[in-house]
Every structure is written in C-alpha cells, then in structure tokens.
Amino acid sequence: MKSVRIISLRQDRKRLLEHLQNSALIQIEKTGKSEKGFNKVDMTSQMQVFERNVALTQQTLQILDRLSPEKKGLLSSFEGRREVDPDEIGVIASNAGKVIHICDRIAELNKQLADNAAEQVRIRTSLVQLESWQNLDIPINTKDTNTTAVFIGSIPREYTEITLSEALSEKNSDLIFDFEIEYSSKTMTCIVLFCPLSQKDLAESALREIGFARPMNSGDLLPCKEVENLKSKSKMLYEESRKVKEEIISYADKREDIKDTQDYFRIRADKYNVINELDHSRHVFVITGYVPEEDCEKLEQLCSRVSTCYIDFKDADENEAPVKLKNNKFTEPAESIVNMYSTPSHIDIDPTPLLAIFFYFFFGMMFSDAGYGLLMIIATGVIIKVFKPDRNMRNSLKLFQYCGVSTFIWGLIYGSFFGDAPTAIYNHFTGASLTMAEILPWPVLDQQKDALMLMIISIAFGLVHILVGMGCKFYICWRAGDYKGAVFDTGLWMLMLIGFAVLAAGMAVSQTVLYVGAAIAVVSAVGLVLTQGRNKKGIGKIVSGFASLYDITSYISDLLSYSRLLALGLTTGVMAQVFNMLSTMFGTSWISFIPMILIFVLGHAITIGLNALGSYVHTMRLQYVEMFSKFYDGGGKPFEPFSLKSKFIKIQEEK
C-alpha cells in the first residue's frame, strides 16, 4: 500500500473527483489542521440539501412500496444494479428537480393520509363515547339555567332509578333532585340530573362520592345529530383518502426515476463530504490518501488525463495504512468469510487462500451429497449468468458454487445422490434390493457402516488443518525475526502432534513406526519442558516447562471438534434416506406418484435447507476457532476507496 498526495488545479476539482469516484482507486483520508496558505471549504449546507433529498427519496420509495408494491420475482434479490452510460448521469441530474418535486408531493399526500387516519381514530373514539347518549334529547354540554343546575355524566357501576336515588339520598338527605338514566350496563350508568341551583355544590359533592364524571366528548348538538355528523365526516375522509392513495399510486411509474435520483444525490453527498475535508488554496487543492501499489500507475494516468496534477507516492506507514486483499478467482469468494472475522493486519498473512481450500473441502464433506452439490452448481451458475449480480453477491454465489463442486465430489465418494434415491425408487417399483455401492462403478465409503473409519479420517483432516494454522504461526514468527518463538513455541508443538500421529499410525501399521512416533513425541515434550519457561528465573523455568505440557488437552479437544465432519455428513445422508423411504410408502399405483413426488421434493428441500445451513455454520466454526486461533490476530483496517456507493445504478466503466 502506498500513501499518495495529489495537488491539482482548483478549477479541475469537480472533474477530477468525479473520475476518482468512478475509478475507486484511492482511499481519501481526512486531514487535520490545514497547512499555511490552505484552508477548508465549508460544504455543509450543500451536503444537507443532498442528504435531505436522499432521505426524501427513500421515504417516497417506502410509501410507494406500501401502497403499490413493486412486482418482483423470487430471485430478484440476486439482480445487480442497473448499468447506465456516463452520459445518462447528466440526464438524471437535469431531471432531479422534477423528481424531487414529485417526491415532495408524495410526502405531502402521505402526510394527508396520516392526518386523515388520525382523524378517523378520533371519530371512532367519539362514536364509541356517544353510543351511550343516543337517547339524550338535549346537548351534552347543556349549561345551568337561572334556577336549575344540570349534571350530565356517567357513574362507573350499574344503577337503577331506585338504587341511584337511594345512593344520592344516603350521601345527602337534604338534596332535592330529579334525574333520568340514559344508559345502564354492568360497568357504567349514564345519567342527566337536575337540582336547584342553590344546591349545586351539595349535588356535585354527592355525585363525586359515587364516582360521577362528565363525558370527555361534548358538543352543542344533540348526541344523535353529533353521531350523524361524525359518520358523515368519516365517510368524507375515507373518500378523500381513497383519492389521495390513487394519486400516490399514479406516481408508481416514476419509481425508477426516483431510484436514479436517490443514487445521484447519494453520490453527490459523498463527493461533497470529501470536498469538505480537502485543503484548498486560491488556485489548487490537495488530496491525500492511500492507493494499492499495483494501482499507482492507473491513478497517475487517470489524473494526468483529467487535470494538470503533481502526484507524490510514498511507502505507507504499515500501522496506519488500510489493507486490501488480493486473491485469484478461486479464493476471492472466501474473502467475505475472512472479513466477517476481521481484516488481516500488516503483521498477519492473508489467510484467504488457505481458508478457501479448507472451507470448500469441509463444507463438501459435511453436505456430502452429489445430487445436492449438482443443484448448487447449476442454481448458482444460472443465477450468475441470468441476473448478472454485483461483485459482492457474485462472490457469495461463487463461494457456494465451489462448495457445490466439493459437495458433488464427496457425494460420489460416499455414494450418495439425493441419499439413496436411485436405488430406493428402483427397488420400490421392481422389488429388488440393490444398494448404491452395488450400482456405482467405484468403491464408496458408507457413512453408516464405515463410521469409525470416517471418524479417523475426519480427525486426520483436522490434524492437517491445525498443523497448517500452526505452520502459518511459525512463518509469521520467523518473518518477524522471532526465531525462538517460531521453533520453541510453535515448531515443537507441531513436532509433538506429528509424533502422536505417527504413533497412532504405528498401532495399525508396525511396531517400528510406533517407536518412531513415540520418540518424536518424547523428544518434543522434553524440548517443551526445557524451553517454555525460558523467560522465567530459577525453578520457575522447570515448573513452567512441565505446566506447558497440559496444553496437549487443548489440542486433543480441538481435534475432537473435527468429528462434526462425520456427524453432519451422516445427518445429511440419513435424513435423505428417511425421506426417500417415506416417499415410497404409498404403493406403486399411479395415484401414489402424487404423494411420492410431494414428499420427495419437500423432504429433500428441508434436508437441503437445514444441512446446508449447518454445514456453512460449522465449517466457519472450524476455520475461526480451530485454525485462526493458532496464528491469526486480525484487526486491520479494510481499504475503503472513494467510490460510487450507489444502491440502484452503476456507471459503465470507460473502455
């Protein structure tokens, strides 16, 4: 990675930044305090306008998606961004004002819908409250007369005329009153009460004691008239909302223009955010950042073609510079797995090539069915060919395509093609008892009968996986000049594990091999005892040396983790066979074909879904926990170039 400083004419700023953004060659860094003669240009107000427009278009698309959902296919998520000609950006820019005006209108209409909906809620609430006052022949807000006090309200329990009269008399025997019950239920009684104006306070006190409360909804009209008006208003609001929705839906054909405009303003906001951080003088401006070493010549050619520039390349500070992974087509899809864990730092090696090989290998061993692998290869290939997805999605699909190849190969080794589907179907209709091993022209490993052998093979693969990780650690230490750490802390443990492997092989091969393995393990153990406490003093050296041997339990635990290679492969095979058996339980008549096909398709779909997910997760676990823990620290900063971070469109590359 190189650090770069570009000094260019200020009059060429717009054109140069647009080309840099389109090329995605350089990561532009924020500068601190400006040097003498330079200052920052405040673009905050312009950025706010662009960001507001991006937010407005996002809101508009959400409104359109809610009221007029875009018709998409099941596989539409794989589609790449729409490719546009560079000249088309000018057309999008010229139409941006009209599109934003449409978005403002849609937002205004949506607000009207929200206001109408809130008003409808208020109307429904009022109608519920007025339901108990339908028989009232005076307005709810009727005032006192010159001689009579009027109380209209409800009591939170059921009363009859007798019980209410008794309750009020009990509260105040001197109270003179007359009342009428308008509505009564187990939870509420609505009343109208009259009393002499001189006894208003007495009546109010008595009513308060039995829980009397005036209604929240009051008006100058009779309740029945209020209800009629509210229903009429509700109907009017409904019709108004319907017309508003129709107008919003009429803008659905502008969806693509809105998407293009959103990306246009997103790109401009990113550009102005960069301008905000650059140093400017009266005539020039300065760009500082990082560029991959292999792209330095491209950057120089681009800048010289666009503007008169001074470009200075220097070796970047490894502690500050970002990291860009560089891999071939076979290993590049696995970069997402590495970045999901952590970007490598400059003291690390790029683990992507090793991870890719083991990831494909282990995934296939776990999924382990030739039929499923063939489906993965075909499905991912068709999606890539037809939908032409963007780079990240394409890499994800290629990852599963390579995993599909591995799955297909392991399926052939295990003799599994949709489980035992070929023989299960053949035996069902002919009454034969063939097995997959009998019809395949090569020897196969039966996951159930050869489970012990497969367990040994799984652990052997695990040993290789761990040794490769430890070998990476050995290389990193050696490259850094830590020769003691490489030999004593890593090399001796590698030798001990190899010794145990040779010893285990000797038990099955010959006693001589067993002795050789034991000798290697003993020599390694002695070396560990003598070197692991080298930084301690006195007796601490020996104690630390012996204590280090306890780590062998950790390695044994790591090796046993690879038994999941057998377990998940066995699960895939058994589930597939079970569904094959279930699908052939309905006889051989023509009518039995329907349940047979349904169970076969549904059962294998379930098997693929569950076991593909399990294989993916457990393969990642073996990489992260068992391998990466041996050598990989991560913590690097990913290379994030100044680029077109668009969501819907991408500009065609210049030829």
Three-state DSSP string of 207-234: HHHCCCECCCCCCCCCHHHHHHHHHHHH
Q: 61 pLDDT exceeds 90?
A: yes
Confidence of residue 653 (pLDDT cuts 50, 70, 90): low
Percent of the chain's residues with pLDDT above 70: 99
Beta-strand pair 178-184/82-84? unpaired
Query: Which two three-digit tokens encode residue 163?
Result: 């019980």
Q: What is the pLDDT of residues 91-119, one digit of tens each?
A: 999 999 999 999 999 999 999 999 999 99
Q: 257 pLDDT exceeds 90?
A: yes
Q: How far apart are CA 234 and CA 228, in angstroms?
A: 10
Q: Which ranges in the chain are annotated with CATH 3.30.70.2750? A: 141-214
Which class for 653: exposed (0-12), middle (13-18), buried (19 or more C-beta within 10 A)? exposed
Q: 652 pLDDT exceeds 80?
A: no
Confidence of residue 41 (pLDDT cuts 50, 70, 90): confident
- Is there a contact between 506 and 529 (Cβ–Cβ < 8 Å)? no
CA 634 to chain centre: 22
Q: Hey, what's the torsion of the CAs at 491, 495, 498, 499, to 10 degrees?
A: -170
Q: Side chain identity at 545, as an amino acid letter?
A: G
Q: How far apart are CA 504 and CA 456, in angstroms?
A: 10
Residues 6+ apart with CB under 8 A from 31: 277, 278, 279, 286, 288
Q: How far apart are CA 230 and CA 425, in angstroms?
A: 69
Most confident of 217-221, 291-295, 505-509: 291-295
Q: 426 pLDDT exceeds 50?
A: yes
DSSP for 402-453, written as a single string:
HHHHHHHHHHHHHT-BTTBHHHHHHHHHH-----HHHHSSS----TTTTHHH
Q: 133 pLDDT exceeds 80?
A: yes
pLDDT of residue 277: 87
- Is there a contact between 218 and 169 (Cβ–Cβ < 8 Å)? no
pLDDT of residue 655: 47
β-sheet bridge partners, residue 279: 40, 286
Q: 541 pLDDT exceeds 80?
A: no
Q: What is the mean pLDDT of residues 172-199?
A: 92
pLDDT of residue 317: 84
pLDDT of residue 564: 93
Q: How far apart are CA 518 and CA 522, in angstroms?
A: 6
Q: What is the CATH number of domain 141-214?
A: 3.30.70.2750
Q: What is the pLDDT of residues 477-535, one digit of tens each?
A: 999 999 999 999 899 999 999 999 999 888 888 888 899 999 999 999 999 888 888 77
- For all residues of the chain together, what is the average pLDDT? 91
- Is there a contact between 627 and 466 (Cβ–Cβ < 8 Å)? yes
Q: What is the mean pLDDT of residues 152-158?
A: 92
**What is the SS3 assignment for 298?**
helix
pLDDT of residue 654: 56
Least confident of 34-38, 111-115, 596-600: 34-38
Q: 537 pLDDT exceeds 80?
A: no
- Is there a contact between 8 and 303 (Cβ–Cβ < 8 Å)? yes
Q: How far apart are CA 584 and CA 578, in angstroms?
A: 10
Q: What is the mean pLDDT of residues 199-223?
A: 89
Instruction: Give, in order, the Cα–Cα distances in Å from 177 to each of 380, 452, 513.
Output: 85, 97, 114
73 vs 450, residue with greater confidence: 450
Q: What is the pLDDT of residues 547-569, one digit of tens each?
A: 888 888 889 999 999 999 999 99
Q: What is the mean pLDDT of residues 441-470?
A: 92
